[in-house]
Amino acid sequence: MLWEITGNGLKKPSYLFGTMHVSSKMVFHLSDSFYHAIQSCDMVALELNPTYWQRDMMKMEGAQRRLADYVSKIPSNYLRESSFRLNRYEDNLKAALTEDPTQINGLLYRTQQSQADYEESTYLDLYIYQTGRKLGKMPGGVEDYYETEKIVFEGYQDMAKEKNKKRPDTDGESMGNIQKKIQEAYRRGDLDMLDSLEQLTTTSVAFNEKFLYKRNEIQANSMDSILRKNSLFVGVGAAHLPGTRGVIELLRKKGYRLRPVMMQDRDASRKDAIDKMKVPVTFSAVATDDGTISMRLPGPLYKRSDTYVSMVNGSWQYADMDNGAYYMLTRVKTHAAMNGENSKDVVKKIDSLLYENIPGRILKKTAITRNGYTGFDITNRTRRGDLQRYNIIVTPFEVLVFKMSGNDDYVDGEEANTFFSSIQVARQEKNWVQFQPVFGDFSVQFPQQPVISKSNGLTDGLVRWEYEAEDSATHTACMVWKKTLVNYNFLEEDTFDLSLLEESLKKSECISKPVKREHVLQDGYAAMDLTYELKNGNLLQARAILRGPHYYLIAATGPKKSTATLAKYLSSFRLQPFQYAASTAYTDTLFHFTVNTPLKPVLDPTLVQMMNQMSNESFLEAAYGQASYWPAERYAGFKSDSTGEAVIVKIQKYPKYFFRKDTASFWKEELNEKYFKDEVIVSKTALSLPNNCSGYQLVIQDTNTARRIIRRHLLKDNYTFVLTTLLDTLGPQSSFVGEFFNSFRPDQQVLGPSVFANRVDTFFADYYSKDTSLRKKAAAAISNVYFGVADTGKIMEAIGKLQYGDKNYFDVKNRFINELGFLKDSCCVDNVVNLLERLYNQTADTSYFQDEVLMALARMKTKSSYSKLKELLLQDPPVFDDDYDDNSLFPHLNDSLALSRSLFPELLQLASLEDYKAPVVSLLRDMVDSGYIAAKDYEAYYSKLYFDAKIELKRQQGRDERTLEQQSKEDENDENMRGVNNELSSSELANYAVLLAPFYNNNNAVHRYFDRLLQSKDPEVQGQAAMIMLKNGYAVPDSLWKSLAARDSYRARLLKLLEKAKRTDKMPAAYKTQELVARAVLMHEGGYEKLDSIVLLSAKQLRVKNKEGWVYFFKYRIKKEDDWKLGISGLQPLNKKEVSSGDELVKMTNRKIKPKDELQEQLQTELKKLIYDQHPSARSFFEDENNNVGSYQD
């Protein structure tokens, strides 16, 4: 794999080496000629220069994150149980001690745990680079990181658009065997075989064109440039070397001579000698962003995004690419002072964790003190034999974990001493200070300058700003925590959301019991004062505050005698206006708007361009066959990381053929005011802006909350821009939000055609275009085009021109026929009906189009269209291919029963056809139930209906027998079963029963028919029949009501039917008790026909959302050998003599009863989860299961 480069004016040879990007020993058969070649050159280069790789990678990662944040959809944030909980820190500390950063492994080692014994200490590429650096060679790269990222992206784009993708032609060999052959070819240096195997496994010619060949050209050109100045040893992936378009041939075309250099034997002694060498590094001062921690490092600290330490105040790394070492700092939040712990307690816990969580074997552990903070200096050796060193320093609020790791004994050198001896941690003065963040928000008196941190790793995915301080003289500690939740989908009651915050806080493990809870006001905002006793005997006093989308928790803790100090702190808290820098103009060329804002996004233009290319219509069409007719909604988010305030802009481009005939219909659809049916739109303001831009601003509020949503809708040409923010009603609007809304302007130039300009002519121009792409898009968009009556002739002409055999002939023709059904203007409806009739007769040879004609007539919903529909159905009824066809027609008829009345009784002629029987009978039943048709109207068809009803009853009797057989088998096996759902079959029987019921008194056959229904083994059939008889005034035996009510599995269903009919007087008194009804409702919810046991535990009176009543607690087990589980059923009415089938609070929790825990606490916990389901803001609150949640008050 080693090639000598000479000629073309070179004064001494240079070298090209083909690498594999792995650390496997298989690729490390390196001879003396390899080391001689590196020694003889001025520069060692790889594809990318490792000197800048970490910097470029982190820079790209940050740019991607900023762009993703900017264009992400409107967030839907929810509080979680852990959002304001004082968590234990031990697990996070363990993670900080044990984690090996994935980025570090990718940069320095590329080891696989399962293959560690068969790998070198780094991968081949980096070994080449490190060897060169140890030998004093200049570092280099033959590609640019950002350019390569762009090329790879373009390669994936081209692959997605590729029409004829290539399948790997492995000639029956497995990919595993082919990989072995690749390794053997590499070991032999057989480039021709490598090239052949590469071609064999290639799946995309288009991707290779960019990923391989374009990069080959870039690499060859870069090598040529370097060779003109310096001798070069360059290592690139072996796949880049072979072939006519490989780097070797490209260099030859530039005039260079290349010959292979044989590498016979592995030079182990030379490798060992070089491995022991070091590259000198220069240390310089580095500090954390908050300035509290400083140290000396050979490079900058890069903040990590791959940490899995959840309660972390940041983790940083620096990889020394030259020496294969890395430096880390991880800040683990402990909140020790708030938890009632001191530094000695934390140090003791750390000491207990070291043995299990320091890798390998601890060689040395020394207690240290740094700037007055205590901790440990630890040296350990991993199982691979590498030395590592830690400094662990404990502050009152966090544990600082400094780590250095390297190959072999590198950490035993002066580099480690320089790093660890330079660590400094600032101490805060112990003086009370009046504190306010630089961005405003609040002010408070702290006993010292607070430690400020920003936690990101919580389960709710939200940033939590934390400000903490302690007063060692009084043994007190205090904090302010703040979260901002952006959710524009609802407005929750303020007091409820405060109760969520309270619920989160009291889940803290340090809390023993609540002492006090009181609703108060803070600067006019809803607040709650909370007091808890901690497990160590101290008090924790807190105030929870809600200010628009911002949630604050102010808390202080200390001995019970320190209440004056705690009160001093809590009473000093004040909410303050947000403060922003001056606004500047920001123009978004991608989304076509300009705005003045202090929050100016910093976006990488190359990434923006790449994102735009991936989402444009031409790419989507090429990649997926066709682009969606509706362009995707786009978003631009302007969010303050400091204050939490946000304005989200939604941008919608309307499709090419979109048209609305008037502004009223457009704005009704656009504003969608019904979405806020649970809130109040307190103002709706029309807006008129320059350059033909207009719109509305809505302000949405609700009772019991000081929050409000502001939405501004702007229409410019064929674009809408929707600006949304969540604020409070009590304070002034911030300068950021106010100026943003007032200055926002769509681009001045015309963005596209007006949505009020009819696009039918444009559509037909495209539809008849010679451009196949335009024709395809137009045909796919037919159902989205607004056709008016004036376009009837154009539609008929298009239908007439369609020829059998045309591409998508059936689909396109059906789409056009469907559109005729929307042309209902009174002036022309008869003409359209006649055209549809003509089409029906012309397509008599296929029901495919006849179905669509019938649906078009039904969709028109006029007397003449229904008259023609009836005529065609009776004259030439189409035969449906499947259930979907007839089921898609009859829902249109059910939607307009008044018009459908004209179809009967003649439509009953079709009931003799199997395709039509069920839907025709169902439609007739709806007409009878609704009073549109009386028995005399269909009496002539009685015999046919009765015959079909008897057949359906026989089918039911067969189902009854199978059910009895199944139950018998389950009884033998002592099994419990879920209820059998016969709703479909019983509904068909019910249809016939409704139609036959008027003949009950005068026809013995019908009388006997109902008797047989009442004798069915299916309680649903019995119940439906009884309800039909009851509605018609016929006597139902009391024994039947008792039989149905006696069944736990059907009692709730029966009560619901009686409630709907307003005949609860028929509910047997023996079963009309709250306990029995609650039990039945619970079993109905679980879907069980029977259980082994279900036992009442207790009942509780409560109020939920202004409704007061009783909830019942049960324990149940499905099988005798099962554990008891908890069941909840409610609400039953407050008056215990009344019952209800209501199921607002019903759940078989599947939670086992824990004998060692207090039963009432278990019941209360499960009830709370269930009741919280009534509130949308608690949808994701509980974290122990996927449980929707909400609120309750005793």
Whether 969 has a pLDDT exceeding 70, the answer reads no
Average pLDDT, the chain: 89
For the chain, how many residues are written? 1194
Question: Comparing C-alpha atoms, which of 538, 508, 523 is closest to residue 571?
Answer: 523
pLDDT tens figures, 527-567: 999 999 999 999 999 999 999 999 999 999 999 888 888 98
With 0-12 / 13-18 / 19 or more C-beta atoms within 10 angstroms meaning exposed / middle / buried, residue 297 is buried
For 225-288, the three-class secondary structure string (H helix, E strand, C coil) is HHHCCCCEEEEEEHHHCCCCCCHHHHHHHCCCEEEEECCCCCCHHHHHHHHCCCCCCCCEEEEC
Whether 1077 has a pLDDT exceeding 90, the answer reads yes
CATH class of 284-425: alpha beta
Return the pLDDT at 305.
Answer: 80
Triad 459, 465, 469: Cα angle to 5°: 120
Flag the least confident range among 181-190, 298-307, 848-857, 1107-1116: 181-190
Return the pLDDT at 379.
Answer: 97
Ranges assigned E (strand) in 566-718: 574-578, 584-588, 593-597, 634-639, 646-653, 680-689, 693-701, 707-716
Residue 266's SS3 state is coil
Separation of CA 313 from chain center: 25
Q: If residue 812 lies in a helix (H) or strand (E), which one and from where to where?
A: helix 809-820
Give the number of other CB atoms < 10 A from CB of residue 273.
Answer: 12
Q: Would you state the structure tokens that stand for residue 612, as one six-digit string?
A: 């735009």
pLDDT tens figures, 950-964: 998 998 888 878 877
Whether 1022 has a pLDDT exceeding 70, the answer reads yes
Q: Would you state the structure tokens that stand for residue 942, as one six-digit string?
A: 């009685």
Flag the least confident range among 44-58, 331-345, 736-750: 331-345
Q: How far apart are CA 1039 and CA 118, in angstroms?
A: 81
What would the mean pLDDT of 1095-1112 be, rounded to a whole number? 91
pLDDT tens figures, 708-725: 999 999 999 999 999 999
pLDDT tens figures, 1114-1169: 999 989 889 999 999 989 999 999 999 988 899 999 899 998 888 998 999 999 99
pLDDT band, very low/low/confident/very high, at 451 (cuts 50, 70, 90) = very high
1040 neighbors 1012 (Cβ within 8 angstroms): no
1116 neighbors 1094 (Cβ within 8 angstroms): yes
Question: Comparing C-alpha atoms, which of 390, 333, 332 is closest to residue 359?
Answer: 390
With 0-12 / 13-18 / 19 or more C-beta atoms within 10 angstroms meaning exposed / middle / buried, residue 688 is exposed
What would the mean pLDDT of 464-484 be, rounded to a whole number? 93
Q: How far apart are CA 1081 and CA 1146, in angstroms?
A: 7
What's the CATH superfamily of 584-603+629-746?
Mog1/PsbP, alpha/beta/alpha sandwich (3.40.1000.10)
Q: Starting at the earlier edge strand, list the strands of the sheet with 1107-1117.
A: 1093-1104, 1107-1117, 1125-1133, 1147-1152
> Tokens 């000396």 identify what position?
296
Is residue 573 left, alpha or beta, with left meaning phi > 0 and alpha meaning psi from -120 to 50? beta
556 neighbors 614 (Cβ within 8 angstroms): no
Whether 369 has a pLDDT exceeding 70, the answer reads yes
pLDDT band, very low/low/confident/very high, at 184 (cuts 50, 70, 90) = confident
% of the chain at pLDDT higher than 70: 93
pLDDT tens figures, 559-618: 988 888 898 899 999 999 999 999 999 999 989 999 999 999 998 888 888 887 777 666
What would the mean pLDDT of 1058-1084 be, rounded to a whole number? 94
> Tokens 């309800």 identify what position?
1027
Helix 90-98 and helix 343-357: axis angle, to 10°?
Answer: 50
Triad 80, 81, 83: Cα angle to 5°: 65
Whether 240 has a pLDDT exceeding 80, the answer reads yes
Give the number of other CB atoms < 10 A from CB of residue 595.
Answer: 24
Whether 881 has a pLDDT exceeding 50, the answer reads yes
Whether 360 has a pLDDT exceeding 90, the answer reads yes
Return the pLDDT at 1091.
Answer: 86
Q: How far apart are CA 587 and CA 636, in angstroms?
A: 12
pLDDT tens figures, 372-410: 999 999 999 998 899 999 999 999 999 999 999 999 999
Question: Comparing C-alpha atoms, which of 1077, 1078, 1098 is closest to residue 1162?
Answer: 1098
101 neighbors 317 (Cβ within 8 angstroms): yes
What would the mean pLDDT of 177-181 be, rounded to a whole number? 77
Beta strand pairing status for 451-455 and 584-588? unpaired
What would the mean pLDDT of 229-248 be, rounded to a whole number? 94
Q: Would you state the structure tokens that stand for residue 837, as one six-digit string?
A: 């009739």
User: Identity (one letter) of the amino acid at 1122?
Assistant: D
Beta strand pairing status for 373-381 and 361-370? antiparallel
Whether 979 has a pLDDT exceeding 60, the answer reads no
Q: For residue 586, list its beta bridge partners.
A: 595
Report the CATH architecture of 433-577: 3-Layer(aba) Sandwich (3.40)
The reply to whether omega before 1131 is within 30° of 0 (cis) is yes
Flag the least confident range among 869-878, 956-965, 1096-1105: 956-965
pLDDT band, very low/low/confident/very high, at 623 (cuts 50, 70, 90) = low
% of the chain at pLDDT higher than 90: 63
What would the mean pLDDT of 1051-1070 be, rounded to a whole number? 94
Q: What is the largest CA-CA distance in the chain?
A: 118
Q: Cα dihedral sign for 964, 970, 972, 975?
A: negative
Q: How far apart are CA 536 and CA 560, in angstroms?
A: 11
Whether 46 has a pLDDT exceeding 90, the answer reads yes
Q: How far apart are CA 1088 and CA 1045, in angstroms?
A: 16
Return the pLDDT at 29.
Answer: 79
Q: Would you state the structure tokens that stand for residue 312, as one six-digit string?
A: 């972390």
Residue 493's SS3 state is coil
Return the pLDDT at 106.
Answer: 82
Q: If residue 1131 lies in a helix (H) or strand (E), which one and from where to where?
A: strand 1125-1133
Domain ranges of the chain: 2-51+108-166+202-275, 284-425, 433-577, 584-603+629-746, 756-878, 1047-1194
Return the pLDDT at 309.
Answer: 65
Q: Would you state the structure tokens that stand for residue 616, as one six-digit string?
A: 């444009």
Which of 18-27, 680-689, 841-850, 1156-1165 is predicted most confidently?
A: 680-689
Return the pLDDT at 285.
Answer: 97
Triad 1166, 1170, 1175: Cα angle to 5°: 140
Separation of CA 141 from chain center: 39
* More confident of the two residues 201 and 14: 14
What would the mean pLDDT of 55-77 be, rounded to a whole number? 90
Beta strand pairing status for 646-653 and 634-639? antiparallel
| Fold equal for 284-425 and 433-577 | yes
pLDDT tens figures, 278-300: 999 999 999 998 889 999 999 99
159 neighbors 151 (Cβ within 8 angstroms): no
Return the pLDDT at 172.
Answer: 66
DSSP for 963-1000? HHHHHHHHHHTT---BPP--HHHHHHHHHHHHHHGGGT
User: Identity (one letter) of the amino acid at 473?
Assistant: A
Flag the least confident range among 148-162, 695-709, 764-778, 928-942: 148-162
Q: Would you state the structure tokens that stand for residue 1139, as one six-digit string?
A: 């019952």
